[in-house]
Chains A and B, each alone.
Chain A
Amino acid sequence: EPEVTQTPSHQVTQMGQEVILRCVPISNHLYFYWYRQILGQKVEFLVSFYNNEISEKSEIFDDQFSVERPDGSNFTLKIRSTKLEDSAMYFCASQGGIATDTQYFGPGTRLTVL
């Protein structure tokens, strides 16, 4: 069964460093998302991406964040200058092209900022 994959599973970085989190969405899906979950808290929406551009973003998704679909398969989230409060699980999700489709999540990348 097709699934969303994410790499790395765990990333440790120093505050102020740049990180890139990678996702391979389900083939033929058209909508892509990043969510994050701080330990013990809700899953929160960051950004959605469709047709090679951002379609919606939350207040969390400020100028230090960016997303890219550099080729036909990968979808990346870049955090330019990490802060301690960026430590969280980051989940990628993808959705098919029909409005009634739902979102399927990857296993997540645990980001630890020291």
Chain B
Amino acid sequence: QKEVEQDPGPLSVPEGAIVSLNCTYSNSAFQYFMWYRQYSRKGPELLMYTYSSGNKEDGRFTAQVDKSSKYISLFIRDSQPSDSATYLCAMRGSGNTPLVFGKGTRLSVIA
């Protein structure tokens, strides 16, 4: 079983739609959860970071963590064409342990 599973998509939505991106994981030691956005051939850009179960909101983005189900989500409201990118979930244990990434979901928002 892979440590972090993420549906690679691609996912295509119309502008203004609500987007839901998800990852599941198997390692109970993971405590910190991130969502990164990556444009083609660029570095991952941090979008959301959380370390507790529940929801965290930042503008149009909401990160949700359910540690009991080992499931995390990223919701994008009022999606824009500029949101078109690959979204990577990543997680790690305590301290300075390395990040474990999902494969990324490619999102296209069509105007």
Contact = CB atoms under 8 A, between A and B. Distances in A.
A31 B97 CA distance: 10
B61 interface: no
A91 B38 CA distance: 12
A102 B49 contact: yes
A108 interface: yes
B51 interface: yes
Chain A interface residue number, banded: 20 to 34
Looking at chain A's contact residues, is the secondary structure mostly helix, strand, loop, or mixed? strand
B57 interface: no
Given A33-B98, A43-B88, A100-B32, A105 B44 contact: yes
A108 B41 contact: yes
A68 interface: no
A110 B41 CA distance: 8
A48 B98 contact: yes
A92 B32 CA distance: 19
A99 B102 CA distance: 22
A56 B36 CA distance: 23
Interface string A72-114: 0000000000000000010101010001101111111010000
Given A48-B98, A108-B43, 19 more contacts: A33-B99, A35-B99, A42-B102, A43-B44, A43-B88, A45-B100, A55-B96, A58-B98, A89-B41, A91-B44, A99-B95, A102-B32, A103-B34, A103-B99, A105-B44, A105-B45, A106-B43, A108-B41, A108-B42
Interface of B: 32, 34, 36, 41-46, 49, 51, 88, 90, 94-104
15 contacts: A31-B96, A33-B98, A42-B103, A42-B104, A43-B99, A43-B101, A45-B98, A45-B100, A55-B96, A56-B97, A56-B98, A102-B32, A103-B99, A104-B46, A107-B42
